[in-house]
Chains A and B, each alone.
Chain A
Amino acid sequence: MNATLLPVLPVLLPLLGAAATVVAGRSAATQRIIGVTVLAAVAAVAAVLLVMADRDGPVVAEIGGWPAPVGIVLVADRISALLLLISTIVTLAVLVYAIDQRIVDYGRRTASTTFHPIFLVLSAGVSLAYLTGDLFSLFVAFEIMLAASYVLITRRTDATRIRSGMTYVIISLASSLLFLTTVALVYAATGTVNLADVATRVAELPTGLQTVLALLVVVTFGIKAAIVPLHFWLPDSYPNAPAPVTALFAGLLTKVGIYALLRTRTLIFPEDHPSTLLLVLAAVTMIVGVLGALAQNDLNRLLSFLLVSHIGFMIFGLAVSDAQGVAGTALYVVHHITVQATLFLVSGLITRRTGTVSIDAMGGLAKRAPLLAVLFAIPALTLAGVPPTSGFVAKLALLQAGADDGPATAIVAGVVILASLLTLYAVMRVWVRVFWGEPKEPLPDPDPHDDLVVGTARTSRPMVVASAALVVVSIAIAVAAGPLSGITSRAGDDLVDRTPYRTAVLGDGGAP
């Protein structure tokens, strides 16, 4: 097998799997086997890519044999391979959970032609977004991802889900339109859409035009990543979807926005000094998100606001703009994808047991469901960044990056600590009210006729195993913090240096 095939497989394998699951639409078992096998294979390919990229530099695949900048290239460098690997692991866990929750089959024991194909198409879109070296393909990747997510967010529809789905679809379409406009403007200004080539040409543009394009990119991906003040759609749409779908969206989709921002900011619009705009956005995002979380009574809404808050942490690393800051962001994204998805999955387990998402209506779960309590406590403490969890490692990397870059970053680094403490307070509040106190009777199942049994102690094993596996992954991130931060700091050096990426894509002429 030639090496140039590898970067293509994470995109094409899920698409092939999607085709196979549509054809096998009448056999639920076949669909499940195909889905799990394909994602496991993609995870293996991603691991191989990560090893290769870390050892020998970026792996480049030229589609159809057309060299860049004319043709489309897929590039797996350290950061994209790393994020691809962690995303695929989370996607796999979510798929196992979803199969068992039976959102797959509308809660009935029949096969559906929709869920598995769409899930795999979403995964293909995420892979393409990580791997593509071409601005227009990035747009296509976002569209694949979003079109699939429209279907997933409106599954098992009721009035609330349609309403929140509408918010989500309209905002996503608006941001796609903005993205397309940005691509058109970049093409008009530089005559190319290849990222490495754009990076060379943008530097020759007038400063004003550069600033406009950079701002457009921040706004476009800011909507996808839910940066305050562009975050308002997220807590309104994510929490109403079924738990595995919310976990997948919260874990992956916003992070793909962050990745796109990371890639374009470092490659096309590099800065030598901390970016004031991004620093302010990071601080505001962290504070607004966590304060919003403190005001919530709905567990899923609370987690969604915490998600917004922690997007601010990643923006902070990006705002610092040096190799250390970018490396901190990379490490934080890896940690956060895992932990945020886990929390939403565990929230789904809690809802299954209590029959509600309202924190007021829960209580005393620690005694009745000790395993659930452990599964919630570990990711919650990880999110807050209590040592020795992966959250602590990631936050430490960010703080170290921000400590020595002047007073502005030092102030925002202070905000990072404040937001972490408030996050700890928010999750402790959930802990005290949900897991301690007097046990409350679970609410009755709102729809007793479906297969999904809510409000009982019966939780099927694969759901628990899938959640527990993600908890183990987040612990593994903390254990492997040394090698992992080695990879991310090398990835940060690559991103800020830009030369490895550009020479890999454009050949020797790409060096600045």
Chain B
Amino acid sequence: MTATPEARVPWDRWDAPAEDWMLSGECPIGTERTLLLELAARILFPTVLVFSLYLLLVGHYGPGGGFSGGLVAGLAFVLRHIAGGRSEGPEIGARVKVRPPVLVGLGLGIAVVTALVPAAFGAPVLSSAKFAFDVPLLGHIEIVTSLALDVGVYLLIVGVVLDLLRSLGSGIERDAREAAAANAGEAA
């Protein structure tokens, strides 16, 4: 009696991906790259980031805010990751100089400090004040202090998305490659 394929594969590997889902795997530059996606990513990346900043700034009065702005910025990095991977892929990959946990920590820290600062002025925690300026070229601008809280949330969300890309994106593929290499070594 021959064993079924399921029986030969250990149970905890049944749902492992059979092939790399993204191009971040072993794809030397020049092969298996999608020109269309890379070009689109290059063009869209700055635009999407600017749009995310727009969402962040208008959030107090219109639809948007730190959370949605952060998600949009995170998606920009996801696009780069899909196009080029993170670590060893071509230049397009989602490479960031800051470690994602630091972004998360900074975001959380900024948000909490923003909540506490009003207490120093004798106001209740998390209350906000409004400052209005008349700036040349831009006209009348109102800045609400709760914007700082939104900035914190924005950073936190971007950090979380980047951390997910690191652990669940390239991390899974690296694990799969290492496992495959180990199996090949045993077979040899």
Q: List residues of chain B with CB within 8 A of the CB of A278.
A: none
> How many interface residues does A have (CB within 8 Å)?
22
A117 to B112 Cα, complex, angstroms = 14
Asked if A343 is an interface residue, CB under 8 A from chain B, the answer is: no
Interface centre among B109, B122, B125 (most CB of A within 10 A): B125
A64 touches B125 (CB 8 A): yes
**Complex contact B115–A12 (CB within 8 A):** yes
Binds B, one of A19-27, A49-57, A197-205, A353-361: A19-27
* 1/0 contact string of A1-45 vs chain B (CB within 8 Å): 110110010001001101111110100000000000000000000
Q: Is the CB of A16 within 8 A of B109?
A: yes
Chain B residues within 8 Å of A196, by CB: none
Most buried by B among A1, A23, A63: A23
Contact with B along A63-85 (1 / 0, CB 8 A): 11100000000000000000000
- Distance (Å) between the CB of B112 and the closest chain A CB? 4
| A1 to B125 alpha-carbon distance, docked (Å) | 12
- Chain B residues with CB under 8 Å of A1's CB are 119
- Asked if B47 is an interface residue, CB under 8 A from chain A, the answer is no
Contact call A64/B116, Cβ cutoff below 8 A: no
**How far does the alpha carbon of A21 sit from the alpha carbon of B112 in the complex, in Å?**
14
Contact A15 B102 (CB under 8 A): no
Report the minimum CB–CB distance from A22 to chain B (whole Å): 3
Contact of A4 with B108 at beta-carbon distance under 8 Å, contacts A12-B116, A16-B113 already known: no
Does A345 have its Cβ within 8 Å of any Cβ on chain B? no
Chain B contacts for A12, CB-based, 8 A: 112, 115-116, 125
A255 to B59, CA, bound (A): 39
A5 with B106, Cβ < 8 A, contacts A12-B115, A12-B116, A113-B101 known: no
Q: Within 8 Å CB of A22, what residues of B?
A: 101-102, 104-105, 108
Whole-angstrom distance between the Cβ of B115 and the nearest chain A Cβ: 6
For residue B29, give the distance in angstroms from its CB to the closest CB of chain A. 32
| Cβ-defined contact, A5 with B119, below 8 A | yes
Quick check: A25 and B102 within 8 Å, CB to CB? yes
Q: Which residues of B contact A64 (CB under 8 A)?
A: 124-128
B126 to chain A, nearest CB (A): 4
B94-111 CB contacts (< 8 Å) to partner A: 99, 101-102, 104-109
Contact of B125 with A23 in the complex, beta carbons under 8 Å: no
| A494 lies within 8 A of chain B by Cβ | no
Flag whether A93 is at the interface (Cβ < 8 A).
no
B101 contacts A5, CB within 8 Å? no
B143 at the binding interface (Cβ < 8 Å): no
Min CB–CB distance A311 → chain B (angstroms): 34
Partner of B108, one of A19, A25, A62, A63: A19
Given A2-B122, A63-B124, A64-B127, does the pair A19, B105 have CB atoms closer than 8 Å?
A: yes
Chain A residues in 8 Å Cβ range of B58:
none
Residues of B with C-beta under 8 A to A23: 101-102, 105-106, 109
Residues of B within 8 A of A63 (CB): 124-126
Q: Closest A-chain residue to B159, C-beta based? A: A22
Are A65's CB and B109's CB within 8 A?
Answer: no
Q: What distance in Å separates the Cβ of B45 from its nearest Cβ neighbour in chain A?
A: 26
Question: Any chain A CB within 8 A of the CB of B40?
Answer: no
Q: A64-B126, A117-B105 are in contact. Are A2 and B119 (CB under 8 A)?
A: yes
Contacts of B180 in A (CB 8 A): none
Residue A61 interfacial (CB < 8 Å): yes
What CA separation (Å) do A22 and B115 show in the bound complex? 19
Instruction: State the CA gap A88–B125 with chains docked (Å).
Output: 22
Chain A, 185-215, CB within 8 A of any chain B CB: none
Q: Looking across the interface, which residue of chain A has its beta carbon closest to that of B128?
A: A64
Q: Is B168 on the interface with A (CB-CB < 8 A)?
A: no
Measured between beta carbons, the chain B residues less than 8 angstroms from A19 are 105-109, 112
Q: Is B144 an interface residue (CB 8 A)?
A: no
A-contact 0/1 string along B110-154, CB 8 Å cutoff? 001101100100111111100000000000000000000000000
**Contact between B105 and A61, CB atoms less than 8 A apart:** no
B113 partner residues in chain A, CB cutoff 8 A: 16
Q: How far is the CA of A117 from the CA of B122 in the complex (A)?
A: 29
Question: Which residues of the partner chain B approach A5 to less than 8 Å between Cβ atoms?
Answer: 119, 125
Tell which of B112, B125, B128 touches A61, judged by Cβ atoms closer than 8 Å: B125
CB contacts (< 8 Å) of B126 on chain A: these are 63-64
State in angstroms the CA–CA spacing of A18 and B115 once bound together.
15
Q: With the chains together, A25 CA to B106 CA distance in Å?
A: 12
Q: Is the CB of A65 within 8 A of B102?
A: no
- Give the shortest distance, in Å, between B52 (CB) and chain A (any CB): 22
Beyond A23-B102, A23-B105, whether A15 also contacts B112 by CB under 8 A is yes
Chain B residues with CB under 8 A of A16: 108-109, 112-113, 116
Report the Cα distance A177→B147, complex, angstroms: 32
A119 to chain B, nearest CB (A): 14
Chain A residues in 8 Å Cβ range of B109:
16, 19-20, 23
- Closest A-chain residue to B109, C-beta based? A19
CB atoms of A62 and B105 under 8 A apart: no
Chain A residue nearest to B12 (CB atoms) is A159
Cα distance A21–B105 in the bound complex, in angstroms: 8
In the assembled complex, the Cα of A4 lies from the Cα of B102 at a distance in Å of 31
- What are the residues of chain A within 8 A of B107 when measuring CB–CB? 19
**B124 touching A61 by the CB < 8 A rule?**
yes
Cβ of B122: which chain A residues have Cβ within 8 Å of it? 2
What CA separation (Å) do A70 and B75 show in the bound complex?
35
In whole Å, how far is B123's beta carbon from the nearest beta carbon of chain A?
7
**How distant is the Cα of A113 from the Cα of B99 in the complex, in angstroms?**
11
Task: Name 30 A/B residue pairs within 8 A (Cβ), A-sorted.
Answer: A2-B122, A4-B125, A5-B119, A8-B116, A8-B125, A12-B112, A15-B108, A15-B112, A16-B108, A16-B109, A16-B112, A16-B113, A16-B116, A19-B106, A19-B109, A19-B112, A20-B105, A20-B109, A22-B101, A22-B102, A23-B101, A23-B106, A23-B109, A25-B102, A25-B105, A61-B125, A63-B125, A64-B126, A65-B123, A117-B105
Told that A8-B115, A22-B104, A64-B128 touch, could you supply 15 new A-B pairs with CB distance under 8 A?
A2-B119, A5-B119, A5-B125, A16-B109, A16-B112, A16-B113, A19-B106, A19-B112, A21-B105, A22-B101, A22-B108, A25-B102, A63-B125, A64-B125, A65-B124
**Which B residues have a C-beta under 8 Å from some C-beta of A?**
99, 101-102, 104-109, 112-113, 115-116, 119, 122-128
The 6 closest A-B pairs by CB, nearest first: A22-B105, A19-B109, A19-B108, A23-B105, A65-B124, A64-B126
